[in-house]
Chains A and B, each alone.
Chain A
Amino acid sequence: MGDGVRRRAFVALCVARFREYQREPEVLFWGFAFPLLLSVALAAAFRERPPEPSRVVVLAAPGAGPVRAALDSAPLIEVEVADEARAARDLRMARADLVIVPPATSADEVEYRLDPSRPEAGVARARADDAIQRAAGRVDPVSGHDVAASEPGGRYVDFLVPGLIGMNLMSGGMWGVGFMMVDMRMKKLLRRLVATPMRPADFLAAQMTTRVVFTIVEVAVLLGFGHFALGVPVRGSLVTVFAVAILGAATFAGLGLLVGSRARRVESVTGLMNLVMMPMFLGSGVFFSVDRFPESVQPFLRVLPLTALIDALRAVTLEGLGLFSQAGPLLLLATWTVVSFGGGLRLFRWS
């Protein structure tokens, strides 16, 4: 670009875009305030807590007394005695983790009623059974003790912050580029611009450049907040973290360009955008690990750009790994970028 007028046009377009961005109150909210609030809220909801006691209901029946006594003396069990109807309702509403039908005589069995799909139920059963067996005279052949070990970086909030940064890069690129293009097309502003000697390529380059600059600011704010306010560790070098973030921003700017390349109405691009983003919001491991999904869908989730971006972000921030260790996800992101840009430019219409 050794051409003075083109450089001047490019700079003017970047400056104009930057001003528009900065004067858009929604942008400040969705770009900064929303992810910050979300990380604070989720950090509070999933903060470290002392282990939760199990809520156990003993049926009011002959033999309830000794069972209750055995449970009362055991740690981490809250016991209540209730009639059949109340016990059934508590179990159904998940107010109780376990209902125990006491044995009428010592020859009868103890009956445990529980919903096996609830993890709390299994814990409650183990604790209650333990207490009842010991009270009945069981002697454990091996003894053991617990040591609490909470590794910094292993908390939920540590897992969450890189996920939120990834999510933010996705929505920033998709809305900031895709939605804006459609809005400008709808208002005939794109048409007005191509009626000047401005080069279309310079216009698109300015959009991408400003997107990347905003990314650096957004990531800096989110990561800074996570690190200083929530204590999220940043173990990798900042250069590495930002390199990954910028590649991610470019990928989603490209996808935004592709999604917004043809639509003439804001409604149609909004639908398309949700169609593209929703699977990634849910399946790319923003809020919980991709490993939790069934084996059969994992190959699909692994090729999504947001999955690759978040994996790489977590690896470089939480584990302090270098760029080369993340060659796989980064290559995948680069491929998405090239394909979406190419497709977007090919399909793009100015009016």
Chain B
Amino acid sequence: MSSASVAVAVQDLKKDYGSVEAVRGLSFEIATGECLGLLGPNGAGKTTTVEILEGLLTPSSGQVHVLGRQWGQDDLEIRERLGVCLQQTVLSEKLEVGETLRLFRAFYRAGREPDEIIAEVGLEEKQRARVGTLSGGQKQRLAVACALVGDPELLFLDEPTTGLDPQSRRQVWDLVRAFKERRRTVLLTTHYMDEAERLCDRIAVMDHGRIIASGTPRELIRSLGGDHVVEITVGEGGPSPTPEELRRLPAVRSVHTEAGHLLLTVTEPHLVLPALLEQLASSGAVLASLATRHASLEDVFVSLTGRHLRDG
């Protein structure tokens, strides 16, 4: 393993709290310059994993290398090069935005100009505002700014947009993209599939302390067998097509039922739709709704676990 090209290497990582196994044997690597997303529902072990990588928790077993170094040996060295944005940190309410950032800057030997970062996260007008007066989105951008002020090579973001409004989420995404453009490495946890899809080069899907699938967003979606999803609902009272019947239609790769809907994963919608309509008409079923969309990571998660990301 050359430490120049691998920013983070994890081998057979386990963490248990008494009888509860939060992380049950993870192995993955993050290449320098890559953005890896840990995607999974609440309680999947994402935060535990990130906090071990941040040196805040000690693993029960397994190997962790961060920037070619190990926790317990080169802690200060790692911390100098690491940017951390914890899940829901409350910064001191009585300090001003600029003061907070200058405080964090003082901890690092080398770093960036606080004023420059404030401009980058769009808080120039709030420079002199107390942290307690900021909105949720502004506080989160300040938290990201605090993670960036040491000019880190590696950035850890734990659920960076949970609880934010859509506009604030996009602002945080822009910050992460700007960081990536400078060829820096990011590890991000999220339970939003759109966030993972937009920001991450590669995604590891976590569930119950394990990685159950990983790859680029495209690869994961392709693993479903088709890029598109056709969702239909048939009217009550009439006959309903069975999944087996639908699977025989052209271009259909798989069929799920979910809360009264039928979900067909398909390769080419223009081939399946005429055949589907014809089949429904000939069986006498009444079509109540029909929608087609691109397959998403959510569909990947559902096909892997039978549950939705938000179900936890």
B80 to chain A: which residues have CB within 8 Å? 197
B107 to chain A: which residues have CB within 8 Å? 5, 9, 12, 196-198
Query: Which stretch in A17-25, A54-62, A122-130 binds the other chain?
Result: A17-25
**A195 to B54, Cβ gap below 8 A?**
yes
Query: Which stretch in A37-45, A185-193, A219-227, A339-347 binds the other chain?
Result: A185-193
Q: A20-B94, A23-B94 are in contact. Are A9 and B106 (CB under 8 A)?
A: yes
**B106 to A19, Cβ gap below 8 A?**
no
Q: Decide if the interface of chain B is mainly helix, strand, loop or mixed.
A: loop
Say yes or no: is A8 at the interface (Cβ < 8 Å to chain B).
yes
18 A–B contacts from the bound complex (CB under 8 Å): A5-B106, A5-B109, A12-B106, A13-B103, A19-B94, A19-B95, A19-B99, A20-B92, A189-B91, A191-B56, A191-B89, A195-B54, A196-B84, A196-B104, A196-B108, A197-B79, A197-B109, A198-B107
* A-contact 0/1 string along B100-115, CB 8 Å cutoff: 0011101111000000
B92 to chain A: which residues have CB within 8 Å? 16, 20, 189
**A195 to B94, Cβ gap below 8 A?**
no
**A187 to B89, Cβ gap below 8 A?**
yes
Task: List 9 A-B pairs, minimum CB-CB distance, nearest first.
Answer: A12-B106, A187-B90, A195-B84, A197-B79, A196-B107, A198-B107, A20-B94, A23-B94, A192-B89
**B95 to A20, Cβ gap below 8 A?**
yes
**B108 to A194, Cβ gap below 8 A?**
no
Q: How far is the CA of A24 from the CA of B130 in the complex (A)?
A: 12
A200 to chain B, nearest CB (A): 11
Q: How far is the CA of A109 from the CA of B94 in the complex (A)?
A: 76
B83 to chain A, nearest CB (A): 9
A24 to chain B: which residues have CB within 8 Å? 94
Q: How far is the CA of A189 from the CA of B142 in the complex (A)?
A: 14
Q: How large is the interface on A (under 10, 10 to 19, 20 to 34, 35 or more residues)?
A: 20 to 34
**A189 to B89, Cβ gap below 8 A?**
yes
Q: A5-B109, A23-B94, A189-B92 are in contact. Are A195 and B103 (CB under 8 A)?
A: no
A29 to chain B, nearest CB (A): 15
A8 to chain B: which residues have CB within 8 Å? 106
Instruction: Closest B residue to A10 by CB, please name it.
Output: B106
B53 to chain A, nearest CB (A): 11
A240 to chain B: which residues have CB within 8 Å? none
Q: A13-B103, A20-B94, A20-B95 are in contact. Are A197 and B108 (CB under 8 A)?
A: yes
B95 to chain A: which residues have CB within 8 Å? 16, 19-20
A20 to chain B: which residues have CB within 8 Å? 92, 94-95
Say yes or no: is B76 at the interface (Cβ < 8 Å to chain A).
yes
A350 to chain B, nearest CB (A): 8
Say yes or no: is B305 at the interface (Cβ < 8 Å to chain A).
no
**A196 to B150, Cβ gap below 8 A?**
yes
**B86 to A192, Cβ gap below 8 A?**
yes
Which A residues from 253 to 271 make CB contacts under 8 A with B? none
Instruction: Closest A residue to B76 by CB, please name it.
Output: A197
Say yes or no: is B162 at the interface (Cβ < 8 Å to chain A).
no
Q: A20-B95, A188-B88 are in contact. List 5 more A-B contacts (CB 8 A).
A: A9-B106, A16-B99, A20-B94, A195-B82, A196-B150
Q: Decide if the interface of chain A is mainly helix, strand, loop or mixed.
A: helix
Say yes or no: is A351 at the interface (Cβ < 8 Å to chain B).
yes
Q: How far is the CA of A341 from the CA of B262 in the complex (A)?
A: 66
Q: How far is the CA of A13 from the CA of B100 in the complex (A)?
A: 10
B146 to chain A: which residues have CB within 8 Å? 192
B91 to chain A: which residues have CB within 8 Å? 189, 192
**B76 to A192, Cβ gap below 8 A?**
no
Q: How far is the CA of A206 from the CA of B107 in the complex (A)?
A: 13
Q: How far is the CA of A8 from the CA of B80 in the complex (A)?
A: 15
A141 to chain B, nearest CB (A): 75
Say yes or no: is B55 at the interface (Cβ < 8 Å to chain A).
yes
A188 to chain B: which residues have CB within 8 Å? 86, 88-90
Which residue, A9, A24, A188, A192, has most C-beta atoms of chain B within 10 A? A192
B88 to chain A: which residues have CB within 8 Å? 188
Q: How far is the CA of A12 from the CA of B106 in the complex (A)?
A: 7
Q: How far is the CA of A153 from the CA of B84 in the complex (A)?
A: 59
Q: How far is the CA of A300 from the CA of B283 in the complex (A)?
A: 92
B38 to chain A, nearest CB (A): 18
Q: Which of B56, B76, B79, B90 contacts A351 (CB 8 A)?
A: B56
Instruction: Closest B residue to A193 by CB, please name it.
Output: B107
B86 to chain A: which residues have CB within 8 Å? 188, 191-192, 195
Instruction: Closest A residue to B92 by CB, please name it.
Output: A20
B160 to chain A, nearest CB (A): 14
A23 to chain B: which residues have CB within 8 Å? 94, 130
* A-contact 0/1 string along B34-57, CB 8 Å cutoff: 000000000000000000001110
B108 to chain A: which residues have CB within 8 Å? 5, 196-197
Q: A197-B107, A197-B109 are in contact. Are A189 and B56 (CB under 8 A)?
A: no
Q: Which of A13, A15, A195 contacts B55 (CB 8 A)?
A: A195
B82 to chain A: which residues have CB within 8 Å? 195
Q: How far is the CA of A9 from the CA of B109 in the complex (A)?
A: 10
Instruction: Closest A residue to B150 by CB, please name it.
Output: A196
* B-contact 0/1 string along A161-203, CB 8 Å cutoff: 0000000000000000000000000011101101111100000
